[in-house]
Amino acid sequence: MKTNAGNLKKGEFVNHLGEVWQVQKADFYSPGKGSALMKAKIKNLISGKNIDYAYKSNEQVDVLDVQSVEMQYLYKDNENLYLMDERSYNQFSLPIAIVGDVCKFFKEGDRMYVYLHDDKPLSLRPPMSVKLKIVEAEDAAKGDTVSGAKKPVKLETGAMVMVPIFVKVGETISINPETGEYTGRV
């Protein structure tokens, strides 16, 4: 499907130089002279490489028809994440290089949306927040009541995050997987 580059949005998938890329950021830029541009940061879904690319706003861009399917996260190895479509029981793998650090916060059984093009997984949309149990944390030192004081903790997935000093081992907390930030206790 062709569209004007001026209509590109973050998250869309485009065919650029014969490969599939995902738009990470798209900003409209209109210089005083000359034609307007759409400055886009795009990520190659094979190599994981990011580039900045400027499209002329009226340039035709091939936007891929992508469907979003809810899947269950099964497990990961050193290179891939494995997910299953619970309706068809088909299993898919996605390279960790494409998914990024958000996968540190996934645990078996989590559900998330996977973007498919021609029944091939391209990327995934991580959940807005995940609930994980703290398995290791240092106790807060007496008198350490500095406003906003934080300490590192280890979560059940092995990920390390910074949390307020009052949070303890065994508690379940909410994390934004895209930023890795603590958002509250559950």
pLDDT given for residue 98 in this prediction: 85
pLDDT(147) > 90: no
Compute how many other C-beta atoms are within 10 angstroms of the C-beta atom of residue 108: 11
Mean pLDDT, rounded, for 157-184: 94
Going along the chain from its start, the domains and CATH numbers come out as 2-63 (2.30.30.30), 67-125 (2.40.50.140), 130-185 (2.40.50.140)
Contact yes or no for 132/172 (Cβ under 8 A)? yes
pLDDT given for residue 49 in this prediction: 86
Q: What does each C-alpha distance from 89 to 19, 117, 118, 137 come to in angstroms?
A: 28, 18, 17, 38
Burial class of residue 78 in the structure, from the number of CB atoms within 10 Å of its CB (0-12 exposed, 13-18 middle, 19+ buried): exposed
Residue 146 banded pLDDT, cuts 50, 70, 90: low
Is pTM, for the whole model, over 0.75?
A: yes
> Which token pair is 47?
């190599």
Residue 181 banded pLDDT, cuts 50, 70, 90: very high
End-to-end alpha carbon distance in the chain = 43
Span 29-85, pLDDT tens digits: 988 888 889 999 999 887 778 999 999 988 999 999 989 999 999 999 999 999 999
pLDDT(141) > 90: no
Q: What CA–CA distance (Å, rounded) separates 145 from 140?
A: 9
pLDDT given for residue 57 in this prediction: 86
pLDDT given for residue 135 in this prediction: 96
115 bridge partner residues: 68, 123
Contact yes or no for 57/64 (Cβ under 8 A)? no
pLDDT given for residue 14 in this prediction: 94
pLDDT(145) > 70: no
pLDDT(143) > 70: no
